[in-house]
């Protein structure tokens, strides 16, 4: 089945008891047992709830995977993967990760004796050089936040396969509509479903998908043991969001492409970061592994400073100043003082996140209105 059809139908069929076309929401913590230990597949909702099962199946199908797992946040999903490791294990990670992922690695897992090497993941030789005999996991994100760096998933997968390393790809920025890491050789796909999968900025959720039965068993064990599982209402909301993922992503990509072109041609804009632009350093790889260049655009003003960024951000009306991304509404943010404020300035600058960098999550509104909003905000800068 094609992706668009999967968005609408994946994970469920009409419900057998009543014929309900849409899956009911199962508000229950526990399930009656016919005899001790004898039940219909569900015994306690931390381990499993039918509303969660539907969502997990749908997400797995969208990523072309066998096993799906949902969590009460994206970070819950990241934590679940890290818990498959043991003291002494080593992880090769990209040096431009989501801040929360980096914090969890450095502040929670490093002290438990897990080692991390952070690299740019830009060449085979660099990756090979970072691998140690104890390397068990490689963690990448593509495109990254907020400068939209692109990593070659297939290249990483080939190297990881040679060394028996599990490759995890945080696919949050692309969504399963635009990029499917399992098909490129990754072992686990991770999503902050808070973003494009949920799509309406009304829930926090995370997801993992894998084709590997053994890995899936370990992930399920960690999921039910740690208990960072979502409730049925959130699962219902996320599934409802996913049913229009194909429509939303099409609009996000179209609008972001127009926003990027507009900014590129504006005299007050110095630099635009968007993988769809031919001058973007990751453009070739993005064109190879993505079915669209996504809905995120970052840029710098000619007069690149925190004050100018602040002025721009106070001038927009449709682009609301807020963290997060991937919802139907357009958002603008200032990474240096918001999402990346905890990173030391020198490290932040070395990663290309200047004091004046502005990040846009381009929504699904009418493109003309969005361009007009950006234009008037720029005029008043």
Ligand X SMILES: *Cc1c(COP(=O)(O)O)cnc(C)c1O
Distance CA 81, CA 189 (A): 10
Which of residues 11, 74, 207, 295 is near ligand X by CB under 6 A? 74
Give the range of 189-197, 220-228, 302-310, 330-338 binding ligand X by CB under 6 A: 189-197
Active-site hit among 195, 271, 348, 359: 195
Active-site hit among 98, 102, 196, 274: 98
- HSE at residue 85, side-chain half, CA atoms within 13 A, is 28
Active site (annotated) includes residue 46: yes
Which of residues 51, 53, 122, 145 is near ligand X by CB under 6 A? 145
Name the closest residue to ligand X (Cβ).
74
Tracing tokens 């004898």 back to the chain, one arrives at 38
Active site (annotated) includes residue 162: no
Active site (annotated) includes residue 170: yes
Active-site hit among 79, 96, 152, 170: 170
Tell me the number of residues near ligand X by CB under 6 A.
Answer: 16
CB 116 within 8 A of CB 106: yes
Distance CA 323, CA 343 (A): 16
CB 332 within 8 A of CB 347: no
Instruction: Examine residue 101 and tell whether it contacts ligand X (CB under 6 A).
Output: yes
Nearer residue to ligand X within complex by CB, 73 or 210 = 73
Nearer residue to ligand X within complex by CB, 98 or 312 = 98
Which of residues 6, 54, 59, 75 is near ligand X by CB under 6 A? 75
Give the range of 45-53, 69-77, 289-297, 312-320 binding ligand X by CB under 6 A: 69-77
Longest alpha-carbon distance in the chain: 74
Nearer residue to ligand X within complex by CB, 193 or 285 = 193
Across the beta sheet with 188-192, what order do the strands follow? 67-71, 206-210, 188-192, 166-170, 135-141, 90-94, 115-119
Which phi and psi angles does 300 have, rounded to 5°? -125, 145
Instruction: Examine residue 172 and tell whether it contacts ligand X (CB under 6 A).
Output: yes
CB 137 within 8 A of CB 92: yes
Q: How far is the CB of 171 from ligand X (least distance, A)?
A: 9
Alpha helices in the chain (DSSP H): 3-9, 50-62, 74-82, 99-103, 124-130, 153-163, 175-178, 213-226, 232-242, 245-264, 283-289, 306-315, 345-350, 367-379
Query: How many other β-carbons are positioned within 10 Å of the β-carbon of residue 274?
Result: 27
Which of residues 170, 300, 355, 373 is near ligand X by CB under 6 A? 170
Q: Which residues pair with 116 in a beta bridge?
A: 91
Nearer residue to ligand X within complex by CB, 94 or 377 = 94
Active site (annotated) includes residue 98: yes
Nearer residue to ligand X within complex by CB, 131 or 325 = 325
Which of residues 73, 222, 330, 361 is near ligand X by CB under 6 A? 73
Q: Could you list the active site residues? A: 46, 98, 170, 195
Residues near ligand X (CB under 6 A): 73-75, 98, 100-101, 141, 145, 170, 172-173, 192, 194-195, 204, 206
């Amino acid at each position: 089945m094609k992706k668009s059809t999967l968005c609408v139908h994946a994970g469920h069929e009409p419900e057998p008891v009543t014929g309900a076309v849409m899956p009911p929401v199962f508000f229950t913590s526990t399930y009656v047992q016919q005899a001790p230990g004898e039940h219909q597949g569900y015994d306690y909702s931390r381990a499993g709830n039918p509303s969660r099962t539907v969502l997990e199946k749908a997400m797995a199908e969208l990523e072309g995977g066998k096993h799906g797992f949902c969590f009460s946040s994206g970070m819950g999903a990241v934590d679940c993967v890290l818990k498959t490791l043991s003291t002494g294990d080593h992880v090769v990670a990209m040096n431009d990760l989501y801040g929360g992922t980096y914090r969890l690695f450095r502040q929670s897992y490093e002290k438990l004796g897990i080692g991390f090497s952070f690299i740019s993941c830009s060449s085979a030789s660099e990756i090979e050089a970072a691998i140690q005999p104890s390397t068990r996991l490689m963690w990448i994100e593509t495109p990254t936040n907020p400068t939209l760096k692109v990593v070659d998933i297939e290249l990483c997968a080939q190297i990881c396969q040679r060394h028996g390393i599990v490759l995890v790809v945080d696919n949050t920025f692309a969504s399963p509509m635009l990029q499917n890491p399992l098909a490129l050789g990754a072992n686990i796909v991770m999503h902050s479903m808070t973003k494009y999968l949920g799509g309406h900025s009304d829930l926090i959720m995370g997801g993992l998908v894998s084709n590997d039965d053994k890995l899936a068993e370990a992930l399920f064990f960690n999921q039910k043991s740690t208990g960072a599982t979502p409730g049925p209402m959130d699962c219902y909301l996320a599934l409802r969001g996913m049913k229009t993922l194909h429509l939303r992503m099409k609009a996000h990509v179209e609008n972001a492409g127009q926003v990027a072109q507009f900014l590129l041609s504006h005299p007050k804009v110095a630099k635009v970061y968007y993988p769809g632009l031919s001058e973007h350093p990751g453009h070739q790889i993005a064109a190879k592994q993505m079915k669209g260049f996504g809905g995120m655009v970052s840029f710098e003003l000619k007069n690149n400073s925190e004050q100018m960024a602040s002025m721009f951000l106070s001038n927009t009306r449709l682009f609301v100043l807020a963290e997060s991304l991937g919802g139907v509404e357009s958002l603008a943010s200032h990474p240096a003082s918001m999402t990346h404020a905890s990173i030391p300035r020198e490290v932040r600058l070395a990663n290309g996140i200047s004091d004046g960098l502005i990040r846009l999550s381009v929504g699904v509104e009418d493109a003309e209105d969005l361009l007009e909003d950006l234009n008037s905000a720029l005029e008043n800068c």
